[in-house]
Structure 1
Amino acid sequence: MGTWRGLRVAFILGSLFMILLIIVYWDDVGGFNIYPLQEPKQVLLHPRTTAGPSHSMSRPQSSSSLPVPTTARSTTLLSEETGGAAEDRTEDEGKEKQEQRHKETREDEKERSRTTLDNREQEERKQRIVDVCSGKEAVEFPGRTRPFEQIPNRELDHLIVDDTHQIIYCYVPKVACTNWKRVMVVLSQSLISPSSGKPYTDPEAVPPDLVHNSSIHLTFAKFWRHYGSLSRHLMALKLQHYTKFLFVRDPFVRLISAFRNKFGRPNEDFYKQFGSVMLHRYANVSGILPETAAEAFAEGIKPTFQQFITYLLDPETEKESIFNEHWRQVYRLCHPCQVKYDFIGRLESLETDAAYLLKLLEVDHLLHFPSGARNRTAASWERDWFAQIPIAIRRELYKLYEPDFAMFGYPKPDSALHQ
């Protein structure tokens, strides 16, 4: 019995000792943890930040009683700072996007406003032509009421046709026509570049002297040769469906520009065909004129602006021709009473009108209107060019170009007519 009792006491003491060991080393051993292991939430700081341990082996405690280790505290602070910076960046990016949207909205509004103004201006320009052609402005001129079918073919040589883009352009010399012809060459692909062997794609690359070669442009005047008896019918169809445009300029300023360009410097063709006639008729030049323009200019023999105007007003001139295209009236070049133009541009607003027109034609993605110096006559033209011209001649000259003044909205130059 003594032995059995001793074993029982030893068992009990051993059990108590084991229980005591379990209690002392509970945290290290882990015991029988009734809580499942959980992956802790990680705060993403920056792609380069290294993540902490995957899980904790300690007993769960309430979050309020957990001490924050130094590394955890640093991580938390870094998270807060980085998070704040991210929020700042997000806010800045949001502001930038909002400002960009506002800017785009303002630009869209400006564009719509400009388009509205351009449309209104175009309607006014077109209505002005209708009023003059209908007789409301009491301005009479030859051909005002004749139908298009009665216009001779030779007078349709300024209407250039581009069938690819369905465009008709009536060119007016001394009104940016060189650059507009360049645009038409590119659109119609009617001229091959010798360097590439392909049609020109940049208007500025087209040599200016080549664009005035009439053979590279399809005009209404050539329709009879191409289409015979169907030519007038085809003209009517194209006039109905194609977009038609022209550019104009103050008639007197255009006239001065033409004189400066053709008679202000040696020009052999114009000297022989027109200059010599002016000098013989109005300059009282005795003897034989110099044979070439260069020789005449070297001797100081050249037409004056007054002689040029006298030539234009001379009834004999009208009998001889319908005027050279450089000083022929626009209503005789482009027939605005018979051709209902969709767009009337002005040299005085060339840049904005050209940009608007290319959008209207839906070719602004293909090319840009050529930039560069343009022929501009000084604003003092009245004083510089008409000071020596008698009032009676000035008024007679105005009557000659009055239809263009009235039709295209240019004010009557009272200071030049009443000095």
Structure 2
Amino acid sequence: MGQPNGSISIHNRQNTSLPLDELPTVTFDKFAEWIVRAGPVDLDTNSKKAQHDEHWRPMVDLCHPCTIPYTVLGRTASLAEDARLVLRTANITSVKFPEGYRSATPGVTESLVSLLRTDVLKGVLRHYLHDLFLFGYRPQAVFHENATARDITQNMYEELLAEAMMPHT
């Protein structure tokens, strides 16, 4: 049986009494709401660490790119190009990264993000704001078909960036 449109399966590994095909399906919008409700992790106290495993935490919390002087910051969207850069930078000529990798994510992302309520979208953008900015992602770029959603998302992103740049008093 296939997943409903806009759904992903997230299985609770602690619940072994049910077969995998009987575990509940979590929709993308419910998952996004969970991310927003969980809130940011306070890195000084790890106050919400239990609610965020490494799969959902912002990369800046895990990789510390502002304190570790990385030579290359790569991303899945440009994996082949980034891998070639890493190999060139390390002067490795005997290894070739396989060609042909193409992410299917862009085609799916617009339909899933379109399901989110405005407040949830803004909360997700706030949660991952540093990652989006640092890694050069522009959230409005996921909207190829829906110009209104693209404009709304761009405005949200710019507002959040402006908030983040304001000195805290």
TM-score range, shorter chain: 0.5 to 0.7
The answer for the alignment partner of 1:356 in structure 2 is: 85
Q: Alpha-carbon deviations, 1:382-401, whole Å to 9, x = none?
A: 2x112221101111110000
The residue correspondences of 1:74-223 to structure 2 (distance < 5 A) are none
Q: Alpha-carbon deviations, 1:216-257, whole Å to 9, x = none?
A: xxxxxxxxxxxxxxxxxxxxxxxxxxxxxxxxxxxxxxxxxx
- The answer as to 2:12 corresponding to 1:272 is yes
- The answer as to 2:36 corresponding to 1:309 is no
Bigger Rg, structure 1 or 2: 1
Decide which of 325, 328, 350 is 2:54's aligned counterpart. 325
TM normalised by structure 2 equals 0.64
Report how far residue 273 of structure 1 moved.
4.6
Q: Determine helix, strand or coil for the equivalent of 2:33.
A: helix
Q: Determine helix, strand or coil for the equivalent of 1:313.
A: helix
User: What CA distance in whole angstroms lies between the structure 1 residues aligned with 2:40 and 2:89?
Assistant: 40
Q: Alpha-carbon deviations, 1:148-181, whole Å to 9, x = none?
A: xxxxxxxxxxxxxxxxxxxxxxxxxxxxxxxxxx
8 Å Cα contact 1:311-1:317 kept in structure 2? no
Decide which of 365, 389, 392 is 2:116's aligned counterpart. 389
User: What CA distance in whole angstroms lies between the structure 2 residues aligned with 1:378 and 1:316?
Assistant: 26
The answer for the alignment partner of 1:141 in structure 2 is: none
User: What CA distance in whole angstroms lies between the structure 2 residues aligned with 1:326 and 1:378?
Assistant: 19
User: What CA distance in whole angstroms lies between the structure 2 residues aligned with 1:339 and 1:322?
Assistant: 25
User: What CA distance in whole angstroms lies between the structure 1 residues aligned with 2:138 and 2:96?
Assistant: 31
8 Å Cα contact 2:77-2:103 kept in structure 1? no
User: What CA distance in whole angstroms lies between the structure 1 residues aligned with 2:22 and 2:87?
Assistant: 45
RMSD: 3.3
Report how far residue 368 of structure 1 moved.
1.9
Report how far residue 374 of structure 1 moved.
4.6
User: What CA distance in whole angstroms lies between the structure 2 residues aligned with 1:322 and 1:361?
Assistant: 37
Decide which of 83, 104, 113 is 1:376's aligned counterpart. 104
Calculate percent identity across the aligned residue pairs: 25
Q: Alpha-carbon deviations, 1:367-413, whole Å to 9, x = none?
A: 2224454542134622x112221101111110000001111222242
Give the letter aligned to residue 66 of structure 2: C
Report how far residue 342 of structure 1 moved.
0.9
Q: 1:389 to 1:340 in 2, by over 3 A?
A: same
Report how far residue 305 of structure 1 moved.
0.7
The answer for the alignment partner of 1:293 in structure 2 is: 20
Give the letter aligned to residue 264 of structure 1: I
The answer for the alignment partner of 1:400 in structure 2 is: 127
The answer for the alignment partner of 1:256 in structure 2 is: none
Give the letter aligned to residue 404 of structure 1: D
Q: Alpha-carbon deviations, 1:39-81, whole Å to 9, x = none?
A: xxxxxxxxxxxxxxxxxxxxxxxxxxxxxxxxxxxxxxxxxxx
User: What CA distance in whole angstroms lies between the structure 1 residues aligned with 2:103 and 2:32?
Assistant: 21
